[in-house]
Structure 1
Amino acid sequence: MTDLLADDALPSTLTRARFDRLDGLVTTAVDDRTRRAVTEVFTGETAATVTECEPADVEYAVERAAAAQERWAERSIDERTAVVKRLHDIVLDRQDELLDLAQLESGKSRAHAFEEVLDVALTSRYYGYRAPDMLATERRDAAVPVLSSKAEVVHHPVGVVGVIAPWNYPITLAISDALPALLAGNAVVLKPAETTPYTALALVELLREAGIPHDLVQVVTGDGGELGPALVDSVDYISFTGSTATGREVAAAAGRNLVDCSLELGGKNSVVVLDDADLDDAVEGAVGACFTNAGQLCIGTERIFVDESLYDEFLSRFVAAVSDLSLGPGYEYGVDVGSLASGDQLETVEEHVADARERGATVHVGGDHRRDLGPYFFEPTVVTGLPDDARAACEETFGPVVSVAPVAGEREAIERTNDTDYGLNASVWTTNRDRGRAVAREIDCGTVTINGGYLETWAAIDAPMGGRKDSGLGRRHGKEGLMRYTESQTIAARNYPVTPPIGVQSEWYARALTASLRLWRKVPFLR
């Protein structure tokens, strides 16, 4: 194993003893597992090692979680929400360590890591206060007024939920999907990305500090290709965030097992700048939409379509704004854009930019790997003249690269925005919000923001968020994000018989019921 970075080379919150204590939270069936290196992305050096789980550990974790789930489901909803409300405060109080870990494992800037802390706090607050009403037994109308009582719908937990989290948002996506699952009465087995295990483990430690039963949330760390199938085959529901290719495999396995799943997958998202847009706002918003987390954001923007009447002015201002972005490492606030997360991401970005250049596209700013800053830094890059068959035009780059193109009006903008297999997120810029809403309704995406990049829709936690087409299935956030983790049961009781009374011919009964149905449709309170 490569030599580890010295403690004094890392933030003061990240000591060797701290890593060892967090590693103790990994679930294993036996003690003698091998270990995997965890890299500090800014330098590419090994910061720590973590337990490498095997499929047998997944099965053991699910068994332990299932036993804890039965006791947890018996607790009142008020007891469960109290834990999540406490987590809200703990995460805000202990954010420095979470930010340090997220930056170490993902390479993002501190400001972008802080967005994740905000998301966990907002999610905790929302579901902590709203879950009781969402999970309450519902009264429903019965089929036959008066004769049968009203039905009721009861919401039960599905059991053990598997959460497979990606590396790009290691705070948010390790815990925010787990919270509604826990509030619904489920247990969770969390499989974080191979490169970001310690951020997830720190969050689970904070959950335990908030009062979650120790066995209720299990963590298995290691290779996704090995552990993922074992997890999907063992749990009662799977929540997956990641690539479309892997999402298809998860969905297929879930289908074979007849368990439900929710999948947030890839995107090829667009910013649309209409002819009446405020260019100052549009340029500022587009910069954030394109280069947050170095472009490694599933709802981030990789394509900008600008009305031809504003194109030259927008491009000039946008290139200037991107040129002013600061790029670099550091565990303090002040850097605009951090590193790519790995050599694999860097390779994809370099290939897409090289392909664009070979096909005649113009790189206006950026376009280079910055080895002087660290192993995986790549400059924020703006290209024009990108052919439709270029890799950066039709594949997800997932890096700090965006193309800008003119369009002849909103119709072409809508058509080009929809001309992709993906359908996750888009944004529309206009000074006429009614016009913006009309355009948004024609865009085949699960979320569309008017005069914003992605934060406005992502932070609207009361509203569902998810993708269309190859961008996924299901929704997180809102009531939908909680109820996906439940099974609905209908219970109805009979007041009086609704079948033909003894001695009454079926024909006469059918005629009488037909007449009643005609009457009921005409009486408002019986409809």
Structure 2
Amino acid sequence: MVSTADSRTADPDSLGPAAPRPTAGFPVDDEETVRGKVARARKATSWWREIGHEGRRSRLLEWRRLMARRLPEILDLLERENGKVRADAVIEMTAALAHVDWAARNARRVLARRRVPSGLLMVNQLATVEYRPYGVIGVIGPWNYPVHTPLGSIAYALAAGNTVVFKPSEYTPAIGRWLVDTFAEAVPGRSVLQLTTGDGGTGAALCTSGVDKVAFTGSPGTGARVLAACAPTLTPVLLELGGKDALVVAEDAHVPAAVEAALWGGCSNAGQSCAGIERVYVADPVYDEFLTLLARRAREVRARTDFGPITMPGQLEVIRRHIEDALSRGGRAVVGGPESVAPPYVTGPVILADVPEDSAAVREETFGPVLVVNRVMDAAEGVERANDSAYGLGAAVFARRRAGELADRLNAGMVSVNDVLTFPAVPALPFGGRGKSGYGRVHGADGLREFAMPTARTRKLFDVPLAVTTYARGARDMARLEGLITWLYSR
């Protein structure tokens, strides 16, 4: 992370990637400012907890209603500040609102106190477990899905009873402010959701500000720095990092459907999706058909119309490097090539074939509308190659007869069968990965529990004849206990 800037003097403009005109001016909050916002959020925690699940449910649903009623505002902002085409913006908001709704409606069921079995040895104890909020959660959001992704932490953290200090990406602060402002309309007069803006220094300050947990979404490199910043205070961290997701196309797959899924999974949002498809392994019997049809369809997809610009200027060089490296190692460009990288766009999908497995385009996250399509002997080899990655976020498989078996063998946190990128839009499903893709989960019941601490309780109901957890016990009591455990556990 970069060094902290002074919030009293810094006033950067928020610029859209395709139309570099200011959306708004925002301060770069320094450490003192961030700590002040955390302190205000801390003061609001008691009230937010005391209103209970039903109180939080009603307010979160009102927030959802406000955002839905003002949908044209945020869609316009996603287009202007983030550069999304309208269709991508609508899809993002559809999923985001569904998650706010699910978290609000299900928090009580998932987190409320429940009774658990005490076991024969503790039969006189009433055992319960409940999930209590941490306190203040720091959320550091990304720029590629500046509404859906941070709400996957914010909405679930709020539903679990926490307050939140939210730092949006420095590329999308106006979108972050819109989220916080609409929440303030739904929950007026309370500092339950606070906004802090700035660059990496502001994010570093949030990590060391005294928050009770940090939820970060971004690159593995920055995630490692977030983890290091939180380590001295043992602040727990949720990391949702990058991916190099693969699609396996089996010998008996429905090829046209697999082609459409690959193209969408690789190019939607200009390929700037951590769970987007970047590698495709196609079984030899259908490889030629797949590649021919994919090339035909890819030539019909265009930037500006079907997807927007590349948000981070530096990512264009990564995309170009991956394409050039693949070609220099013997890969071939079926559609597009290095000339497709025309700032701020990749002008259309780039389809690469026969790319060596040790090339950057296969091993590293490209984060652009580039698909590597490689031939494999069969789906089993495709799964083997898909698993040969430092990442483990999502994956997909197209098959008829053995789809479930192939999906079970994919080492990923999420798998789509005969479709792609479906799991982020299912609110009840957990979202997260393994390896360089991070750890922890957002969304679903696991996402709610990620922002709450399990708390165990026992309550003595009656005395038992065999009293051993007391110094009033006798030798006969311990002998009877030995006999009992032998009888229980040696059978």
TM-score range normalised by the length of the shorter chain: over 0.9
Within 2, Cα distance between the matches of 1:90 and 1:254? Answer: 35
CA RMSD between the two structures? 2.2
AA at the equivalent of 1:71:
W
Flag the 1:382–1:499 CA change in 2: closer, same or farther, 3 A. Answer: same
What are the residue-to-residue correspondences of 1:375-524 with 2, within 5 Å? 375-432=344-401, 435-455=402-422, 457-494=423-460, 495-496=462-463, 498-499=467-468, 505-506=474-475, 508-517=476-485
TM-score by length of 1: 0.87
2:277 corresponding residue in structure 1 = 301
Would the aligned equivalents of 2:144 and 2:272 in 1 still touch at CA under 8 Å? yes
AA at the equivalent of 2:310:
L
Within 1, Cα distance between the matches of 2:72 and 2:315? Answer: 26
How far 1:445 moved relative to its partner?
0.5
Flag the 1:153–1:406 CA change in 2: closer, same or farther, 3 A. Answer: same
Within 1, Cα distance between the matches of 2:186 and 2:203? Answer: 28
Within 1, Cα distance between the matches of 2:489 and 2:421? Answer: 45
Task: State the Cα deviation string for residues 352-379 of structure 1 (Å, max 9, x = none).
Answer: 222222223211112255688x633442
1:3 corresponding residue in structure 2 = none
2:192 corresponding residue in structure 1 = 216
How far 1:504 moved relative to its partner?
5.4
TM-score by length of 2: 0.93
How far 1:410 moved relative to its partner?
2.0
1:21 corresponding residue in structure 2 = none
Does residue 1:230 correspond to 2:205, yes or no?
yes
| Stretches of structure 2 lacking an aligned partner (at least 5 in a row) | none
Would the aligned equivalents of 2:340 and 2:350 in 1 still touch at CA under 8 Å? no
Within 1, Cα distance between the matches of 2:480 and 2:388? Answer: 56
Flag the 1:522–1:361 CA change in 2: closer, same or farther, 3 A. Answer: closer
2:117 corresponding residue in structure 1 = 141
Moved more, 484-493 or 474-483: 484-493
How far 1:33 moved relative to its partner?
3.8
Task: State the Cα deviation string for residues 34-61 of structure 1 (Å, max 9, x = none).
Answer: 2012112222333432222112111111
Structure 2 residue corresponding to 1:323, chosen from 276, 299, 312: 299
Flag the 1:30–1:60 CA change in 2: closer, same or farther, 3 A. Answer: farther
Structure 2 residue corresponding to 1:174, chosen from 143, 150, 170: 150
SS of 1:259's partner is coil
Moved more, 99-108 or 311-320: 99-108
Would the aligned equivalents of 1:303 and 1:402 in 2 still touch at CA under 8 Å? yes
AA at the equivalent of 2:345:
Y
Flag the 1:212–1:400 CA change in 2: closer, same or farther, 3 A. Answer: farther
Within 2, Cα distance between the matches of 1:478 and 1:500? Answer: 40
Flag the 1:245–1:150 CA change in 2: closer, same or farther, 3 A. Answer: same
**Number of residues paired by the alignment?**
483
What are the residue-to-residue correspondences of 1:183-332 with 2, within 5 Å? 183-211=159-187, 214-224=190-200, 226-234=201-209, 235-328=211-304
SS of 1:493's partner is strand
How far 1:193 moved relative to its partner?
0.5
AA at the equivalent of 1:135:
L
| Stretches of structure 1 lacking an aligned partner (at least 5 in a row) | 1-28, 329-334
Would the aligned equivalents of 1:174 and 1:200 in 2 still touch at CA under 8 Å? no
2:77 corresponding residue in structure 1 = 101
Q: How much identity, in percent, do the aligned residues show? A: 33
Would the aligned equivalents of 2:335 and 2:351 in 1 still touch at CA under 8 Å? yes
SS of 1:263's partner is strand
Could you list the structure 1 runs, at least 4 aligned residues long, displaced by more than 6 angstroms after superposition: 500-503
